[in-house]
């Protein structure tokens, strides 16, 4: 492996991507939780290159900022004007200090499906065959727009001809240039000096290097990709969605082969960064994003959207939106729950239906089963929060914390006006507005006394259906006496 470790990988990403019709540069569009260029860099990193250079041009401030975010080890080379792929590589080599010894791999920034394995295979072929250049090619059903691979009668590659410059006979060729190459660095630098611009686009074509090296008597090779879909470049949003589907399928296939049940791959979407334990079940309509991890035997879905969320072993999450939450082992969440950042649910705990939580630690075995908001709170173990409770954390200016102890039973329709503490083992009455601390083991009652005004309906609503019903009830009461 070390023998074929490239001296550099050059990623071409200076183009505008006009056909995306977007304010966002093409290579920053995302599929499966990673930018297009991010996918290419991840594949490139598998080669462990000594240098990784991205050629930037269009919207380079945005692209450069993104690159330093995702891979600070990347160097950038600025191509002020996009004078062609050959020109772009020339600028990258200048950034590296001119001619470079060893292998230089060139890839495009808009081919997110390209794998590290394919790049490694290309580098290996290049090395074993002792080539000056090896191009990754593919047989495609429709070669329109691509550079065609021209071979002689012995099958040796003689040139790459761009679609716009090709003859009718050449356009019939279905083997295309993927835009991925391995070069001998020194020969590449030399050949790039000889590339001309006398073509239909008036550009310096990197592809011309093949013919130049061949005419100088060097070995030119090709490696045919096993799956042509892997090398597809993204030019518009239709291709973007197709690539997302393919990558998503790849990720789900890997998950299933590692022991995850995916009920409906067609409606399940995952990011590359999501991790699964064994015997996880994912139900339809589920989207898993960011650093989400599903623990062994957990069950998620249907209809969940989880971002940066940890679901521990055996937990069950149904119809839930969650961002930045940690769901403990064997806990249950949903249906219809909204977990916001800082939610921590303990083992065997429950966050039920129409419950929203934020910055809330809910201890082992504790339950918030129905219709509640729990924000900025600590709840101990084996406590039950009554239905329709609100942790009133905001006075319009600042947020305050509520603490509820262990083994508490709070009544339905409580307001906990923070900052406030309910001690261990305490009870609160239904309908209470808790504004003062509740000592451990007490019952807090904080609501108006009930007053019944007898005969009010007969006096104020005479002849109404309510009055008649009341009258009938009182007569029945009398006859029963
Ligand atoms: C290129 C190839 C073509 C191949 C196809 C594969 C050339 C001349 N043609 O064509 O043989 O079949 O890719 O997708 O190489 N770029 C720069 N600077 C430039 C020009 C391009 O950085 O001056 C970058 C683009 O951002 C893009 C990549 O190089 O990532 C390819 O450029 P593009 O214009 O898309 O080339 P194609 O016409 O598709
Ligand atoms: Ca292209």
Give me ligand 2 centre to Cα 15, in Å: 9
Task: Provide the token pair at 44.
Answer: 């490139």
Residues, the chain: 481
Among 206, 240, 182, CA closest to 17: 240
Marked catalytic residue, from 58, 127, 228, 370:
370
- Cα angle at 281 between 280 and 286, to 5 degrees? 115
**pLDDT of the chain, 481 residues: tens digit per residue:** 445 799 999 999 999 899 999 999 999 999 999 999 999 999 999 999 999 999 999 999 999 999 999 999 999 999 999 999 999 999 999 999 877 899 999 999 999 999 999 999 999 999 999 999 999 999 999 999 999 999 999 999 999 999 999 999 999 999 999 999 999 999 999 999 999 999 999 999 999 999 999 999 999 999 999 899 999 999 999 999 999 999 999 999 999 999 999 999 999 999 999 999 999 999 999 999 999 999 999 999 999 999 999 999 999 999 999 999 999 999 999 999 999 999 999 999 999 999 999 999 999 999 999 999 999 999 999 999 999 999 999 999 999 999 999 999 999 999 999 999 999 999 999 999 999 999 999 999 999 999 999 999 999 999 999 999 999 999 987 776 6
Give me ligand 1 centre to Cα 373, in Å: 53
Q: Which atom of ligand 1 is nearest to the CA of 79?
A: 18
- Cβ of 439: how many Cβ atoms within 10 Å? 13
- Which pLDDT belongs to residue 2? 44
10, 58, 85, best to mutate for ligand 1 pocket (most atoms within 8 Å of CB): 85
Task: Provide the token pair at 439.
Answer: 């000592």
- Which pLDDT belongs to residue 477? 76
Task: Report which bound ligand comes closest to the CA of 88.
Answer: 1
- Which pLDDT belongs to residue 479? 72
Give me ligand 2 centre to Cα 199, in Å: 17
Q: Identify whether the C-beta of residue 331 lies closer than 8 Å to the C-beta of residue 345.
A: yes
List all residues 6 or more positions away from 282 whose beta carbon is below 8 Å from its beta carbon. 260, 261, 262, 263, 268, 288, 294, 300, 301
List all residues 6 or more positions away from 5 whose beta carbon is below 8 Å from its beta carbon. 47, 48, 49, 50
* Active site annotation includes 370: yes
List all residues 6 or more positions away from 433 whose beta carbon is below 8 Å from its beta carbon. 414, 415, 417, 446, 447
Residues surrounding ion ligand 2 at CB below 5 Å: 233
Give me ligand 1 centre to Cα 223, in Å: 19
- pLDDT by residue (tens digit) across 168-223? 999 999 999 999 999 999 999 999 999 999 999 999 999 999 999 999 999 999 99
Task: Report which bound ligand comes closest to the CA of 236.
Answer: 2
- Which pLDDT belongs to residue 481? 61
108, 159, 199, best to mutate for ligand 1 pocket (most atoms within 8 Å of CB): 108
On the CB side of 298, CA atoms within 13 Å amount to 28
Q: Which atom of ligand 1 is nearest to the CA of 160?
A: 11
pTM recorded for the entire structure = 0.93
- 345: helix, strand or coil: strand
Question: Residue whose CA is closest, atom 17 of ligand 1?
Answer: 14
Q: Which atom of ligand 1 is nearest to the CA of 13?
A: 26
Task: Report which bound ligand comes closest to the CA of 108.
Answer: 1
Distance CA(454)–CA(288), nearest Å, equals 58
Give me ligand 1 centre to Cα 85, in Å: 6
- Which pLDDT belongs to residue 47? 98
Q: Identify whether the C-beta of residue 389 lies closer than 8 Å to the C-beta of residue 414.
A: yes
Start-end of H helices in 163-306: 168-171, 185-193, 208-215, 237-257
**Omega within 30 of 0 (cis) for the link into 420:** no
């Amino acid at each position: 492996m070390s023998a074929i470790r490239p001296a550099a990988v050059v990623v071409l990403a200076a183009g505008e991507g006009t056909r995306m019709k977007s304010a966002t540069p093409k290579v920053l569009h995302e599929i499966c939780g990673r930018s297009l260029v991010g996918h290419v860099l991840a594949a490139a990193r598998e080669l462990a290159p000594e240098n990784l250079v991205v050629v930037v041009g269009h919207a380079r401030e945005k692209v450069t900022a993104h690159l330093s975010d995702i891979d600070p080890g990347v160097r950038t080379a600025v191509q002020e004007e996009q004078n062609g792929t050959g020109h772009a590589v020339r600028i990258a080599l200048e950034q590296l200090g001119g001619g470079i010894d060893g292998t230089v791999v060139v890839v495009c920034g808009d081919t997110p499906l390209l794998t590290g394995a394919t790049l490694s295979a290309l580098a290996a072929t290049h090395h074993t065959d002792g080539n000056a250049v090896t191009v990754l090619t593919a047989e495609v059903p429709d070669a329109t727009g691509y550079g065609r691979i021209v071979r002689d009668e012995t099958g040796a590659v003689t040139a790459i001809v761009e679609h716009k410059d090709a003859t009718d006979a050449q356009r019939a060729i279905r083997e295309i240039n993927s835009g991925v190459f391995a070069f001998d660095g020194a020969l590449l630098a030399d050949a790039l000096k000889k590339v001309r611009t006398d073509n239909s686009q008036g550009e310096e074509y990197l592809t011309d290097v093949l013919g130049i090296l061949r005419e100088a008597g060097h070995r030119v090779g090709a490696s045919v990709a096993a799956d042509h879909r892997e090398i597809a470049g993204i030019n518009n949003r239709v291709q973007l969605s197709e690539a997302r589907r393919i990558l998503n399928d790849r990720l789900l296939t890997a998950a299933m082969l590692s022991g995850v049940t995916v009920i409906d791959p067609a409606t399940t979407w995952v990011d590359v960064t999501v991790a699964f334990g064994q015997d996880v079940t994912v139900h339809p309509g589920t989207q898993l994003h960011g650093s989400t991890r599903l623990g062994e035997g957990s069950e998620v879905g249907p209809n969940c959207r989880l971002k940066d969320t940890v679901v521990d072993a055996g937990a069950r999450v149904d119809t839930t939106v969650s961002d930045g939450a940690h769901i403990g082992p064997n806990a249950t969440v949903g249906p219809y729950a909204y977990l916001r950042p800082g939610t921590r649910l303990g083992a065997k705990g429950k966050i039920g239906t129409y419950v929203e939580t934020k910055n809330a630690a809910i201890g082992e075995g504790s339950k918030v089963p129905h219709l509640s908001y729990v924000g900025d709170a600590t709840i101990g173990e084996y406590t039950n929060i009554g239905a329709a409770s609100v942790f009133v954390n905001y006075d319009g200016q600042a947020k305050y914390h509520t603490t509820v102890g262990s083994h508490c039973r709070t009544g339905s329709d409580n307001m906990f006006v923070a900052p406030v503490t309910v001690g261990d083992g305490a009870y609160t009455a239904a309908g209470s507005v808790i504004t003062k601390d509740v000592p451990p083991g007490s019952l807090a009652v904080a609501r108006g006394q009930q007053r019944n005004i007898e005969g009010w309906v007969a006096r104020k609503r005479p002849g109404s259906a309510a009055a008649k019903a009341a009258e009938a009830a009182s007569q029945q009461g009398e006859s029963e006496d």
